[in-house]
Amino acid sequence: MAIFMLRILIIIIALGTTTAHAEIVLLGTGQISGTATDASGLSETFETGDSQNLLGGISAIEYTGKDNLYLALPDRGPDDGAVPWKCRVQTIRIDIHPKQSPAVVPSLVSTTLLLDESKRNFIGKATAYSPSNKFAERFDPEGIRLTQDGTFYISDEYGPQLIRFSSEGKAVKRITLPAHFLITHPGSSKKEENGANQTGRSANRGMEGLAISKDGKILIGLMQSPLLQDSTRTAKGKPTGLNCRLLVINLETGTRKELLYHLEHPKNKLNEILTINDHEFLVIERDGKAGKEANFKKIFKIDISNATDIQKIKSLPPENIPTSVLPVQKEVFIDLLDPAFSLAGKKMPEKIEGLTFGPVLSDGKQTLIVATDNDFEADSPSLFYVFSFDQSDLN
């Protein structure tokens, strides 16, 4: 009976969504215009009218640890995979001056194109694959994390794939992901892919977030939504569910495990994961609404200490947690719609996607940078929210 009651208590904690007691302050919001261009030197204009050198679509951000420099990762480009966007990484500077106005000033420093092992450009276009090489070129970069030697890992939604790049942007190593994360039949549209596959990632819902341990030995890949085999289908054939998988990879031993993250609502998505320590992380969970319709934009603190390894479970229930499984523990760390931050309302963007710890300020406060994806829309700037708090608030 005691063991049973302990398990019930752990599940209650795991599913709890009470806000962590942290004194968190929004220092300011920096922005880069939706019409800004990058330093790629590319001048092509697509048939859609969009330019190859747009600066936007930020899906991940990573602090380099020096000179206020960050790696900002655009996704597959404008028009939702319809154009041959050349994938890249932007290096940006974010200057933070809490007592000035504006308090947050982002600016572009440089642009690095992403190349495969043969020095060919990775392309964001959805049709950039072939039957003989399903994921040869097409690439939808969504997560980025730096290593101690200056190389970086990027997670991709199309495969999903997980690739290590040199500091110059050339692919140097590919990590094989479990077969049940992969689809068998790629397609050029979400409807086509979801209709043709019963297992693997849902279309455009692949490895959305990426974390790396502080010693660089462990990678944690976060799936945006439940795998197809862990979902049910709506009347229109759209996969839906609550149980997402986290893939934990030991880069030294090759050992892996999978953990269950339980969404708060079937329409929510996961967008990023950030390491706090060896068992705690921050995770973005959000809805797909913008402006006044937005009602769920939260950063959760999760603890994986007691979570069950689910890699041998071929198919999870779409909603309920199996009785044999303990999910990751969750508590709200930041609710972006909290009135205290004055972010809710007509200017709230849909896509809260990037997350990284920034520098420690002169007053000892830790900073946290949250980046938004503007979908390369000219009238929507890329936003960078900068929060500060005592480092003890993460404990």
Between 14 and 211, the more confident residue is 211
- Residue 179 domain boundaries: 2-394
Helix, strand, coil share of the chain (percent; to 5): 10, 40, 50
- 257, 248 Cβ separation under 8 angstroms: yes
Percent of the chain clearing pLDDT 70 (strictly above) = 93
Q: CA 121 → CA 38, 53, 88, distances in Å? A: 17, 14, 9
Q: What three-state secondary structure class fits 179?
A: helix
If we measure between CA atoms, which residue out of 111, 97, 88 comes closest to residue 30?
97
| pLDDT of 395 | 81
State yes or no: pLDDT of 351 exceeds 50: yes
Confidence of residue 133 (pLDDT cuts 50, 70, 90): low
Cis peptide before 160 (omega within 30 of 0): yes
Confidence of residue 137 (pLDDT cuts 50, 70, 90): confident
If we measure between CA atoms, which residue out of 24, 10, 57 comes closest to residue 343?
24
| pLDDT of 6 | 45
* CA distance linking residue 223 with residue 161, whole number of Å: 11
Neighbouring C-beta atoms of residue 267, cutoff 10 Å = 13
Buried-state track 60-81, b at ≥16 Cβ within 10 A, e below 16: bbbbeeeebebbbbbbbbbbeb
Query: Which residues lie closer than 8 Å to 240 by C-beta, 6 or more apart?
Result: 226, 231, 232, 233, 234, 266, 267, 318
Domain count, the chain: 1
Q: What is the dihedral of CA 151, 155, 159, 161, to 10 degrees?
A: 40
> pLDDT tens digits, residue range 164-208?
999 999 999 999 999 999 999 988 889 999 999 999 999 999 999
> pLDDT tens digits, residue range 62-78?
999 999 999 999 999 99
| pLDDT of 188 | 85
State yes or no: pLDDT of 20 exceeds 80: no
Domain CATH code at residue 124: 2.115.10
| pLDDT of 26 | 98
> pLDDT tens digits, residue range 223-248?
999 999 999 999 999 999 999 999 99
* CA distance linking residue 294 with residue 265, whole number of Å: 13
Confidence of residue 132 (pLDDT cuts 50, 70, 90): low
State yes or no: pLDDT of 23 exceeds 80: yes
The tokens for 110 are 């440089």
Query: Which residues lie closer than 8 Å to 40 by C-beta, 6 or more apart?
Result: 52, 53, 86, 88, 111, 113
Averaged over 129-144, what is the pLDDT? Answer: 78
> pLDDT tens digits, residue range 29-52?
999 999 999 999 999 999 999 999
State yes or no: pLDDT of 2 exceeds 70: no
| pLDDT of 3 | 41
Averaged over 285-305, what is the pLDDT? Answer: 98
Burial of 252 (0-12, 13-18, 19+ CB in 10 A): exposed
| pLDDT of 103 | 97
| pLDDT of 129 | 84
pTM of the model: 0.93
